[in-house]
Amino acid sequence: MTKSVFKFGGGTAEGDAKQKELLGGKGANLAEMAGIGLPVPPGLTIATHVCAAYYDAGGKLPDDVAQDVLSALAFVEGVTGKRFGDAANPLLVSVRSGARVSMPGMMDTVLNLGLNDVTVQGLATASGNARFAWDSYRRFIQMYGDVVLGLDHYLFEDALEIAKEDKGVTQDTGLDADDLQALVARYMAIVETALGRPFPQDPHEQLWGAIGAVFGSWRSDRARTYRRLNDIPEAWGTAVNVQAMVFGNLGDTSATGVAFTRDPSTGEKAWYGEYLINAQGEDVVAGIRTPQYLTLTAREKAGAKAASMEEAMPVVFAELGRTFDLLEGHYRDMQDIEFTVEDGRLWMLQTRAGKRTAKAALKIAVDMVAEGLITEAEAVLRVEAAALDQLLHPTLDPKAPRDIIARGLPASPGAASGTVVFDSDTAELKSRAGEAVILVRTETSPEDIHGMHAARGILTARGGMTSHAAVVARGMGRPCVSGAGSISIDMVTRTMNCGGRRIAEGDRITLDGSNGDVMWGEVATVEPDLSGDFGALMVWADKHRRLKVRTNAETPADCRVARQFGAEGIGLCRTEHMFFDPARITAVRRMILAEDTAGRAAALAELLPEQRMDFAEIFRVMAGLPVTIRMLDPPLHEFLPHDDAGYADVAAATGLTESLVRRRIGELHEFNPMLGHRGCRLGITYPEIYAMQARAIFEAAVLVRQETGAAVVPEVMVPLVATARELEITKAVIDAEAATVFAETGTTLEYLVGTMIELPRAALRAAEIAEHAQFFSFGTNDLTQTTLGISRDDAARFLGPYVEQGIYPKDPFVSIDEDGVGELVSLAAERGRGAKPGLKLGICGEHGGDPASIAFCEKLGLDYVSCSPYRVPIARLAAAQAALKKA
Q: Which residues are tagged catalytic? A: 468, 844
**Amino acid at the residue 780:** T
Which residues, listed in sequence order, are joined to residue 459 by a DSSP beta bridge? 440, 481
Whole-number Å distance between alpha carbons of 191 and 180: 16
Mapping DSSP to helix (H, G, I), strand (E, B) and coil, where does residue 413 land? coil
- Name the H helices within 81-198: 119-127, 130-147, 153-167, 177-195
Q: What dihedral do alpha carbons 344, 350, 353, 356 form, nearest 10°?
A: -70
Instruction: Please tell me the chain's helix, strand, coil percentages from 3-state DSSP, rounded to the nearest 5.
Output: 50, 20, 35
Of 282, 276, 248, 288, nearest in space to 129 by CA: 248
User: Which residue type sits at 192?
Assistant: E
CA distance 705 to 697: 12
Question: Rounded to 5 degrees, what angle do the CA atoms 756, 760, 763 make?
Answer: 60
Q: How far apart are the C-alpha atoms of 593 and 468, rounded to whole Å?
A: 60
- Structural contact between residues 474 and 357, judged by C-beta atoms closer than 8 angstroms: yes
Instruction: Name the nearest CA neighbour of 755 among 787, 781, 723, 785.
Output: 723
Bridge-based pairing of strands 480-482 and 335-342 is: unpaired
Q: Phi and psi (nearest 5°) for 380?
A: -60, -40
Which pairs from 270-276 meet CB under 8 Å and 24+ separation?
270/295, 270/297, 270/298, 271/295, 271/321, 271/324, 272/298, 272/465, 273/337, 273/465, 273/466, 274/464, 274/465, 274/466, 275/309, 276/248
CA distance 305 to 319: 24
The amino acid occupying position 221 is: D
- Rounded Cα–Cα distance for residues 818 and 816 (Å): 6
Cβ pair 455, 438 in contact under 8 A: yes
Classify residue 385 as exposed, middle or buried by CB count within 10 Å of its CB (0-12, 13-18, 19+).
buried
What residue type is assigned to position 253 of the chain? T
Candidates 546, 540, 477; CA nearest to 855 is 546
| N-terminal to C-terminal alpha carbon distance within the chain | 36
Residues 6+ away with beta carbon under 8 Å from 652: none
Asked if residue 332 lies in contact with residue 362, where contact means CB atoms within 8 angstroms, the answer is no
